[in-house]
C-alpha cells in the first residue's frame, strides 16, 4: 500500500473517531481492497465494522438488498446498483457510513456502453449520498488500485461535507 493511501485512510479514521461514527464496505470489483486499506491502520476497529465482498449478483441481492429490478434494468455496473449496495452495507452492518464499488476491472467483460475500466462507486450516510464513475483502462491491477483510492477519496469528501454542514448549522 502506498503512502498516499495510508495517509488517506488515517485521515478518514481521524474524522470518524472525532465524530464517534463507523463505516463499512460493499465491494465487488475491488474484492475487499478498501477493507484491507481501512484495517491496515492501527486502531481501525474503533470505526471500521466490516465489509461484504459481493462479487455475484446473488450476493448483492441477498446480503445488500439490491433490488433484482435494479440489476435487470441498469446492470451490476451502474450508479443505481452502487447506491443500493452502499445503503445495504450501512443497514446490514449497522454503520453510520458505507462505501461501495462495482465495475469492470478487466481485461475482459466490457461493452460499448460499459468499457473495461468503468467502475462506479458510492459513499453514503444517513443524510447524503455521493457517487463517482471511474473511466479508463490501465489494466486490471491498476484499475482496482485506482478504484480503491477513488472510493476512499469519495468517503473522505462525504465526511468533509458533513463536518462542514454541521459546523454551519452550529
Can you give the C-alpha Rg of the chain in angstroms? Answer: 15
**Can you tell me the distance from the alpha carbon of 156 to that of 23, in angstroms, rounded to the nearest whole number?**
11
- Is the pTM for the entire model greater than 0.75? yes
pLDDT at position 83 is 98
Residue 169 clears pLDDT 80, i.e. is over it = no
List, for residues 31-75, the tens digit of each pLDDT value: 999 999 999 999 999 999 999 999 999 999 999 999 999 999 999
Helix (H, G, I), strand (E, B) or coil at 67: coil
Helix (H, G, I), strand (E, B) or coil at 5: helix
Task: Give the mean pLDDT of the chain.
Answer: 95
Residue 30 clears pLDDT 70, i.e. is over it = yes
**Can you tell me the distance from the alpha carbon of 77 to that of 154, in angstroms, rounded to the nearest whole number?**
17
pLDDT at position 10 is 96
Q: Would you kindly state where each structural domain of the chain is located, as residue ranges?
A: 3-164
Half-sphere exposure in the Cβ direction for 143 (13 Å, CA): 26
For every residue of 126-164, which 3-state class applies, written as one string?
A: CCCEEEEEECCCCCHHHHHHHHHHHHHHHHHHHHHHHHH
List, for residues 152-167, the tens digit of each pLDDT value: 999 999 999 998 877 7
pLDDT at position 3 is 84
3-164 placed in CATH 3.40.50.300: no
Amino acid at each position: 500500500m502506498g503512502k498516499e493511501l495510508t495517509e488517506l485512510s488515517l485521515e478518514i479514521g481521524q474524522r470518524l473517531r472525532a465524530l464517534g461514527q463507523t463505516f463499512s464496505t460493499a465491494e465487488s470489483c475491488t474484492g475487499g481492497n478498501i477493507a484491507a486499506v481501512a484495517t491496515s491502520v492501527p486502531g481501525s476497529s474503533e470505526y471500521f465494522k466490516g465489509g461484504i465482498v459481493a462479487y455475484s449478483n446473488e450476493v448483492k441481492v441477498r446480503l445488500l438488498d439490491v433490488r433484482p429490478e435494479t440489476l435487470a434494468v441498469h446492470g451490476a455496473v451502474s450508479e443505481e446498483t452502487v447506491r443500493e449496495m452502499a445503503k445495504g452495507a450501512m443497514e446490514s452492518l449497522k454503520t453510520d457510513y458505507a462505501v461501495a464499488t462495482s465495475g469492470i476491472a478487466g481485461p475482459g467483460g466490457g461493452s460499448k456502453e460499459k468499457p473495461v475500466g468503468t467502475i462506479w462507486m458510492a459513499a453514503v450516510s444517513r443524510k447524503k449520498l455521493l457517487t463517482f464513475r471511474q473511466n479508463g483502462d490501465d489494466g486490471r491491477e491498476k484499475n482496482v488500485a485506482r478504484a480503491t483510492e477513488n472510493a476512499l477519496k469519495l468517503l473522505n469528501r462525504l465526511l468533509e461535507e458533513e463536518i462542514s454542514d454541521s459546523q454551519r448549522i452550529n
